[in-house]
Amino acid sequence: MKRSFEEEIKRRRTFGIISHPDAGKTTLTEKLLLFGGAIQEAGAVKSNKIKKGATSDFMEIERQRGISVATSVLAFDYQGVKINILDTPGHKDFAEDTYRTLTAVDSVIVVIDVAKGVEEQTEKLVQVCRMRKIPMLVFINKLDREGKDAFDLLDEVEQKLGLKVTPMSFPIGMGYEFKGIYNIWERNVRLFNNDNSRKLATETLQITDLSDPELEVHIGKTSAENLREELELTEGIYPEFDKEAYQKGDLQPVFFGSALNNFGVRELLDCFIEIAPMPRPKESNTRIVEPTEKKFTGFVFKIHANMDPKHRDRLAFIKIVSGTFERNKPYLHTRLGKNLKFSSPNAFFAEKKEIVDISYPGDIVGLHDTGNFKIGDTLTAGEKLEYKGIPSFSPEHFRYINNADPLKSKQLYKGIDQLMDEGVAQLFTLDFNGRKVIGTVGALQYEVIQYRLEHEYGAKCSYENLNVHKACWVVPKDEKSEEFKEFKRVKGKFLAKDKHDQLVFLADSPFSLQMTLEKYKNIDFHYSSEF
């Protein structure tokens, strides 16, 4: 079936799933794949019965710890709609990866645990989405467990996350009393039974009129009365769903369900493909680029080394913003100013990759990279423009990295080099003695680096603590000024270069940072690099 360029754009939905660790994000991702027919059986993430592990956690260290540390990309078709999911790490130590991924999505699903409610990590991520006006849809998960009351949860989402919500489905009871869900969007009831966790639930009652006595037959008199009262209340309290307000980021629809039991997921997906935005325009340094423009543009939001440890390959993940990306066609790498051609661009389904001949706006393509790409790079059909807004943040933890096996120093440096390109952490080289310092946003990254250096590069490293409070990127107003020369002389021990040869000041305490800022007025100090 041949579709036009415009039709292909209209059928794309690219979104990210964000949550606090353990809210059930990876499980939800799996169940969405199950409905898309992309997998036959869901591997319960923590269950040892199915050793396969979750489809989207494909790095060994993730399998061991049961947390997602790298954002993976999953694509599938559902009812004629092409869905691209970017699963993000929930763990706060990997927040930077998630922030970068949010630059590549057109909308977001926020997963909240019914018992724990809104947690700290969710607050931070939602704040980023609100800042960027990304449309958000909320999924309240684990309804079959004892948790907070539905109205309390809706209040909490509004207050803590600063959202304006409207329920699109409503639970019939909670925890042990959980009977099912009333789908406000489609006006029907789905009954819950415990044995549908592996297959797809099918039993739906078409109940358009809630006063229908049929309802009581299925869920009992008390539950039916409660449901009628609660729905009357929601109509009184919450605004009606408005697609335009949702797509502008001003209204957030809420769904209830239990991802592990496959419950409420189809309702979420069916509504999502109808209301979620298609690929959106994006701002570049020169103009706003519309997805419907015929000429290709796209940007790198993630780099992953060793997707396949047998072949030392790096993949640069590109989000296509406009036009079509075609295999074997030369495109301009705007930072390097050179044309590159790609003979095997990949589309993804977790760790399975397929070579694609043509990709459309909203799609994510993996390009084999020999070291040309950095996070934030732009590719175009020839126009000189660059997409902005993929920052590196000032790390919060700093350690010296030492080579623990002198015979493998080549492997160690190659490994560090590639992992830093991925944005796992940042590398600083001290000016006065050339020692290498690794800075990370979270302490868990050190384990990941050590593990991956050993298992993917055959190199061993050890760490040594280093007392650094903050890294600041240094930009003097005048490089030749006496003030800048004095700064370099006085602070020489605390100066380093980052991977892109930018000067960085590693302040050892809040006090010394404050004093430095006050003393050197003609030097700018930045906490994030948008270089």
pLDDT above 80 for 459: yes
Indicate the average pLDDT of the chain. Answer: 81
Q: For residue 50, what pLDDT is reported? A: 36
- Report the SS3 class of residue 108: strand
Q: For residue 337, is pLDDT > 80?
A: yes
Task: Give tens-digit pLDDT for 212-247.
Answer: 777 777 777 877 788 888 888 888 889 999 999 999
DSSP 387: B
Four-residue CA torsion sign, 446, 447, 452, 455: positive
CA–CA dist 335, 337 (Å, integer)? 6
Under a CB-based contact definition with an 8 Å cutoff, are residues 20 and 122 in contact?
Answer: yes
For 358-403, what is each residue's pLDDT tens digit?
999 999 898 888 778 888 889 999 899 988 766 666 788 899 999 9
Rounded mean pLDDT, 28-37: 78
Mean pLDDT of 45-61: 45
Phi, psi of 241 (to 5 degrees): -65, 135
| Per-residue pLDDT tens digits for 110-154 | 999 888 888 887 888 888 788 888 999 999 988 878 778 888 889
Under 8 Å between Cβ of 273 and 13? yes
pLDDT attached to residue 242: 92
Nearest to 314 by CA among 422, 210, 221: 422
d(CA 13, CA 293): 18
Confidence of residue 195 (pLDDT cuts 50, 70, 90): low
Closest listed residue to residue 127, CA positions, set 166, 171, 93, 95: 95
Q: What are the structural domains, with CATH classification, of the chain? A: 5-275 (3.40.50.300), 282-380 (3.40.50.300), 392-529 (3.30.70.3280)
Q: Which residue has the higher pLDDT, 102 or 46?
A: 102
Reduced 3-state DSSP string for 217-259: HHHCHHHHHHHHHHHHHHHHHCCCCCHHHHHCCCCEEEEECEC
The pTM for the full model equals 0.75
Other CB atoms within a 10 A radius of the CB of residue 473 amount to 20
Residue 351 has pLDDT above 60, yes or no: no
CB burial class (10 A; 0-12, 13-18, 19+) of residue 479? exposed
Picking from 37-41, 140-144, 253-257, 304-308, which range would have the lowest pLDDT averaged per residue? 37-41
With CA atoms as reference, report the closest residue to 94 among 381, 347, 445, 500. Answer: 445
Residue type, 125: L
pLDDT over 70 percentage in the chain: 83
∠253-68-169 over CA atoms, to 5°?
A: 20
d(CA 488, CA 495): 8
Tell me, what's the pLDDT at 197? 47
> Would strands 107-113 and 136-141 be described as parallel, antiparallel, or unpaired?
parallel
For residue 293, pLDDT beyond 90: yes
How far is it, in rounded angstroms, from Cα 370 to Cα 336?
14
What does the buried/exposed string (b/e) look like for 387-413 if buried means 16 or more CB atoms within 10 Å of the residue's CB?
A: bebbbbebbebbbebebeeeebeebbe
Taking 80 as the threshold, does the pLDDT of residue 522 lie above it? Answer: yes
Tell me the C-alpha distance between 360 and 358, whole Å.
7
Q: Which of 55-64, 201-210, 221-230, 343-352 has the highest mean pLDDT?
A: 221-230
**Residue keyed to tokens 């260290």:** 61
pLDDT value for 70: 47
Residue with the bigger pLDDT between 45 and 74: it is: 74
CA distance 369 to 356: 16
Q: In whole angstroms, give the CA distance from residue 167 to residue 319.
A: 31
Strand order in the sheet with 188-191: 169-172, 180-183, 188-191, 204-205
State the DSSP H helix or E strand holding residue 35, giving kind and residue range, or none if neither.
helix 25-35
